[in-house]
Amino acid sequence: MTGCSAHRDDLDAYIDRELTADASQRFQTHLGECALCREAIDARALLDAELRSLPRVEASPQFEAQFWARLARSHEPALPWWRRMRWVPLALGASAAGALAIMLFTGNPSRPPGDLEILANAEDFELLLDDDHELVMALDVLEAWDGAEES
Amino acid sequence: MLAFAAGDRGAFETLFRRYTPPLVNFLARMVPDRARAEELAQEVFVRIYNARDRYEAKAKFSTYLFGIAHNIALNDLALAYRQRERPLDQAIEATRPDSGPSLDDQLDAKRKAERIQAALAALPERQRAALVLRSEQDMGYEDIAQSLGTSVASVKSLLHRAREKLLVLVDQEKPS
């Protein structure tokens, strides 16, 4: 649908009525002889008709009111820099609170030790086992003594 | 516009009411979101209102208006693309008509319009702008060139490529 190579540039200008009267006349004569260009012109004419018949997008009912409000906002004086910076203390306070919260949750020295920390202290662990062993031995002696008394 | 520049606010209101429909329609063809198109149209009028003292009657008011609208639309599309809020491909995809079994039905006027609109949305922005200004606003090549800030030869080229691509896209969208 590109027409013949000799008149390709004239197709759109012809459809858009942008050719001079002479050029338009010459192209019309050519159309009588060139099926390629006739096909291209027909396709463009149909396309243009379809484009022109597209439903138009209309502004919403509140468009005008929104415009006047927007225009009024555009005339409001810009805030001085110290008023535009009023979020800075707020941001600093929030950052400090965040840092404090992180310290409280991760840096508390009085929390109970985890399993890995207990295992890392292997000596204490063995001492604890020894103490338990002595206690069990003492209980066995007591039981044996009670048994001897009853008999 | 010259009357408005001289202080006649009523002249601006006349321009506003006269050009709101074509401006909103143009921007709705340029950006994928209708609400955004209205915001951009309001922005165009705000700029015109606030720049009234600097207005020079070098060309028709319509070419001045659509020139601003075109620049604002391109900036908005570029910003949206950079921020990846809504990539253009996705936006174009969103305007495509549903493809389902209903396409097997006979095409009615609504479906045909959707097909054309989807193909139009898939054109590169400058080609789309040139074609919409030509077909829907009935602007001549010289006026389109002024609106888009380019030459008449460039407009001819934009329109030729736009129509060639649109014909291919519309043909692809046709139900088999």
Residue A119 predicted with pLDDT over 60: no
Write the ipTM. Answer: 0.77
Residues of B with CB under 8 A from a CB of A: 16, 20-21, 24-25, 28-29, 34, 37-38, 41-43, 45-46, 49-50, 109, 112-113, 116-117, 120, 131, 134-136, 140-141, 156, 159-160, 163-164, 166-167, 170
Q: Which chain B residue has its CA at the smallest distance from A12's CA?
A: B160
In terms of pTM, does the model score above 0.90?
Answer: no
How many percent of chain A have pLDDT more than 70? 68
d(CA B48, CA A43) in angstroms, rounded, equals 39
What's the average model confidence in pLDDT over A55-65? 93
d(CA A110, CA A97) in angstroms, rounded, equals 22
Q: Tell me: the pLDDT tens digits for A9-34?
A: 889 999 999 999 999 999 999 999 99
* B139-148 contacts at long range (C-beta below 8 A, 24 or more positions apart): B139/B62, B139/B63, B139/B66, B140/A16, B140/A18, B141/A13, B141/A16, B141/A18, B143/B59, B143/B60, B143/B62, B143/B63, B146/B59, B146/B60, B146/B63, B146/B67, B147/B62, B147/B63, B147/B66, B147/B67, B147/B70, B148/B67, B148/B70
Q: Which chain B residue has its CA at the smallest distance from A45's CA?
A: B163
Residue A117's Cβ-count burial label (10 Å; 0-12, 13-18, 19+) is: exposed
Q: How far is A14 from chain B (nearest CA, A)?
A: 11
Q: How far is A55 from chain B (nearest CA, A)?
A: 8
- The tens-digit pLDDT sequence of chain B (176 residues) is 777 777 788 889 999 999 999 999 999 999 988 999 999 999 999 999 998 878 877 778 999 999 999 999 999 988 877 776 544 444 444 444 444 545 555 556 778 888 888 999 999 999 999 999 999 999 999 999 999 999 999 999 999 999 999 999 887 766 55
Q: Does A5 touch chain B (CB under 8 A)?
A: no
| Residue B67 in tokens | 């020139």
DSSP assignment of A27-48 equals HHHHHTT-HHHHHHHHHHHHHH
Selection from B32, A98, A28, B157 nearest residue B148 by Cα: B157
How confident is the model at residue A107, as a pLDDT?
A: 62
Instruction: State whether B20 and A66 contact (CB < 8 Å).
Output: no
A vs B, Cβ pairs < 8 A, gives 86
What's the average model confidence in pLDDT over A111-126? 54
How confident is the model at residue B93, as a pLDDT?
A: 46
Do A1 and A8 touch, CB atoms closer than 8 A?
no
What's the average model confidence in pLDDT over A99-105? 84
